[in-house]
């Protein structure tokens, strides 16, 4: 794997690749407030092994990418969409297969609508046809009561400069998003530690993505997606229950849904890696 810094306007994005650039490229687009470390190195290596060029990257305010003051992001949600194109440009790629999770899947949807020539296929995991939280859509079930309480809380969280407290808070913060697959707490802590140690301003990483404007789609626009689309969705997702994934697969022409048994709203846990890797490799073939 090799890492590089990619300029985009007055910012820089940190990206890393796995596999041969001669193979079909898959760009991994992560969830809000998460560095590329949550796409675990072993997972990326397994995805690259059958002959894929896998790229992961740090969003602005995460990892080694440009950081802004907490509470004052110098960018919008639309910039996060075009940042993905800047990463492709940084690798000299006219187009790629896109695999997005949660917010990253929303970014991938926007790219599929607005920049179809840059998108070879879409894999959309843990998302909805209505954006990250899907407000005002009575046909789709709401998030769990526990998550509704969490999102309405005004708790400022820990002192993000306190390394141990911050890492513990990041791990504990994953619990309301769990499905029924038992979490690997040691593995989660290792990833959170790596993110903390690589991130320029952890307070900004845990704040700024949640207050961005722009970057969303209207639900009706999904019918205009022409890229072959695979929808992966946990059967135990408490933020966007399975009917969100089912609706997304219905509204994108030709999309195929693969339910992942017991998975919550999370990066793929190790228990589903075999299924996810096989599905994504087949889809990007």
User: Considering 102, 121, 126, 128, which one is annotated as catalytic?
Assistant: 102
pLDDT at 132: 47
Structure tokens at 264: 């919550």
Which residue shows structure tokens 């993505």?
A: 209
Distances 27 to 93, 181, 191, 221 between C-alpha atoms, Å: 10, 26, 20, 22
Is 265 a known active-site residue? Answer: yes
Residues in the chain, pLDDT under 70: 1, 131-136
- In the DSSP assignment, the letter for residue 13 is E
Q: How far is CA 65 from the centre of its chain?
A: 16
Question: What is the C-alpha separation between 135 and 137, in angstroms, rounded?
Answer: 6
Structure tokens at 200: 């320029």
User: 56 has which bridge partners?
Assistant: 16
pLDDT at 1: 63
Structure tokens at 208: 């700024």
Structure tokens at 96: 């790629």
pLDDT at 135: 53
Question: What is the C-alpha separation between 189 and 170, in angstroms, rounded?
Answer: 8
Q: Taking the CA of residue 231 as centre, how many other CA atoms within 13 Å lie in the half-sphere pointing to its CB?
A: 25
pTM: 0.97
pLDDT at 155: 87
Query: Which residues make Cβ contacts (< 8 Å) with residue 155, sequence separation at least 6?
Result: none
Question: What is the C-alpha separation between 239 and 41, in angstroms, rounded?
Answer: 26
Question: What is the C-alpha separation between 214 and 186, in angstroms, rounded?
Answer: 36
pLDDT at 133: 46
Q: How far is CA 78 from the centre of its chain?
A: 15
- DSSP H or E segment with residue 259: strand 256-260
Structure tokens at 111: 């790219």
pLDDT at 154: 85
Is 97 a known active-site residue? Answer: no
- DSSP H or E segment with residue 232: strand 229-234
User: Considering 97, 209, 244, 265, which one is annotated as catalytic?
Assistant: 265
Q: How many Å is the maximal CA-CA distance in the chain? A: 48
CATH classification for the domain delimited by 2-283, as one of 3.40.50.1820, 3.30.1490.100, 3.10.20.30, 3.30.590.10: 3.40.50.1820
User: Considering 61, 83, 178, 237, which one is annotated as catalytic?
Assistant: 237
Mark 161-199 as b/e (b = at least 16 C-beta within 10 Å): eeeeebbebbbeebebbbbebebeeeebeebbbbbbebb
pLDDT at 136: 60
pLDDT at 131: 56
Closest CA to 15 of 106, 73, 85, 77: 85
Is 128 a known active-site residue? Answer: no
Query: Which residues make Cβ contacts (< 8 Å) with residue 184, sequence separation at least 6?
Result: 269, 270
């Amino acid at each position: 794997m090799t890492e590089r810094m990619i300029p985009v306007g007055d910012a820089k994005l940190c990206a890393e690749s796995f596999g041969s650039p001669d193979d079909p490229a898959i760009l991994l687009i992560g969830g809000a407030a998460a560095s590329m470390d949550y796409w675990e190195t072993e997972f990326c290596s397994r995805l690259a092994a059958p002959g894929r060029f896998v790229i992961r990257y740090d969003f602005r305010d995460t990892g080694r990418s440009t950081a802004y003051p907490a509470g004052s992001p110098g960018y919008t949600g639309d910039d996060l969409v075009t940042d993905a194109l800047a990463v492709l440009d940084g690798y000299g790629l006219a187009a790629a297969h896109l695999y997005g999770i949660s917010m990253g899947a929303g970014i991938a949807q926007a790219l599929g609508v607005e920049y179809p020539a840059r998108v070879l296929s879409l894999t959309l995991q843990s998302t909805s046809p209505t954006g990250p939280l899907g407000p005002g859509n009575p046909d789709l079930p709401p998030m769990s009561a526990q998550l509704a309480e969490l999102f309405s809380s005004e708790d400022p969280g820990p002192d993000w400069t306190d390394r141990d407290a911050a890492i513990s808070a990041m791990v504990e913060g994953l619990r309301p998003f769990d499905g029924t697959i038992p979490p690997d707490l040691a593995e989660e802590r290792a990833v959170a530690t790596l993110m903390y140690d690589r991130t320029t301003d952890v307070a900004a990483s845990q704040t700024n993505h949640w207050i961005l404007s722009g970057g969303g789609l209207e639900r009706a626009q999904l019918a205009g997606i022409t890229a072959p689309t695979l929808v992966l969705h946990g059967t135990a997702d408490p933020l966007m229950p399975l009917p969100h994934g089912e609706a997304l697969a219905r509204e994108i022409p030709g999309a195929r849904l693969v339910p992942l048994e017991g998975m919550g709203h999370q990066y793929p846990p190790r228990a589903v890696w075999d299924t996810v890797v096989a599905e994504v490799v087949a889809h990007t073939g």
